[in-house]
């Protein structure tokens, strides 16, 4: 059962909850948590000092990683929402990243909480396209677009 305090990632089945970006079971990962805010999705994340690129600013790979997992989580939630289904219902919708595009618009400061806001651009068949903005103190510093595709049964074989 989904409650208003739950993050999408709280509902990932254990076999997809190890992801470095979003897996709640990965103690070394970012463990991002994403929720709906109306028709947008929101993740808040505070970088650590070791996420540095240029001193004082966040590493671009971190930003890309946050956009990636924020967007795949948003894709899954959007698919459940479109189907009128609870995120714990079966069979699960599991998404992987087909494509990740990131524009770094401004340096992203390290010492503030980042807000990621996602919008569902398209849902078509097994594909969901999500656009995600990264905001630092209300200023958009990066923008990404992710094509998330439902994991085929043959994934990895």
What is the binding site for ligand DCC (CB under 6 A)? 11-12, 16, 19, 22, 68-69, 72, 76, 87, 92-99, 124-127, 147, 149, 152, 155
What minimum distance in Å lies between the beta carbon of 69 and ligand DCC? 6
What minimum distance in Å lies between the beta carbon of 13 and ligand DCC? 6
46 or 155: whose CB is closer to ligand DCC? 155
CA distance 121 to 75: 10
What minimum distance in Å lies between the beta carbon of 129 and ligand DCC? 8
SS3 at position 35: strand
Q: Using the structure block, give the residue that is written with the tokens 């919008």.
A: 119
29 class by beta-carbon count within 10 Å (0-12 exposed, 13-18 middle, 19+ buried): middle
3 or 54: whose CB is closer to ligand DCC? 3
What minimum distance in Å lies between the beta carbon of 124 and ligand DCC? 5
72 or 141: whose CB is closer to ligand DCC? 72
Give yes or no for a contact between 84 and 78, defined as CB atoms under 8 angstroms apart: no
54 or 90: whose CB is closer to ligand DCC? 90
Tokens of 119: 């919008």
> How far is C-alpha 41 from the geometric centre of its chain's CA atoms?
9
């Amino acid at each position: 059962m989904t409650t208003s305090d739950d993050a999408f990632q709280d509902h990932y089945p254990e076999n997809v909850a190890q992801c470095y970006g979003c897996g709640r079971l990965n103690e070394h990962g970012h463990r991002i948590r994403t929720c709906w805010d109306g028709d947008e999705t929101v993740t808040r994340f505070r970088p650590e000092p070791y996420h540095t690129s240029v001193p004082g600013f966040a590493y671009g790979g971190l930003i890309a990683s946050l956009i990636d997992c924020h967007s795949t989580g948003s894709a899954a939630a959007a698919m459940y929402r479109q189907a009128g289904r609870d995120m714990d219902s079966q069979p699960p919708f599991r998404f992987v990243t087909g494509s990740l595009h990131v524009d770094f618009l401004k340096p992203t400061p390290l010492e503030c909480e980042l807000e990621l806001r996602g919008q569902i651009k398209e849902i078509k068949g097994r594909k969901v396209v999500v656009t995600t903005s990264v905001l630092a103190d209300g200023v958009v510093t990066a923008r990404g677009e992710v094509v998330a595709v439902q994991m085929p049964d043959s994934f990895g074989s």
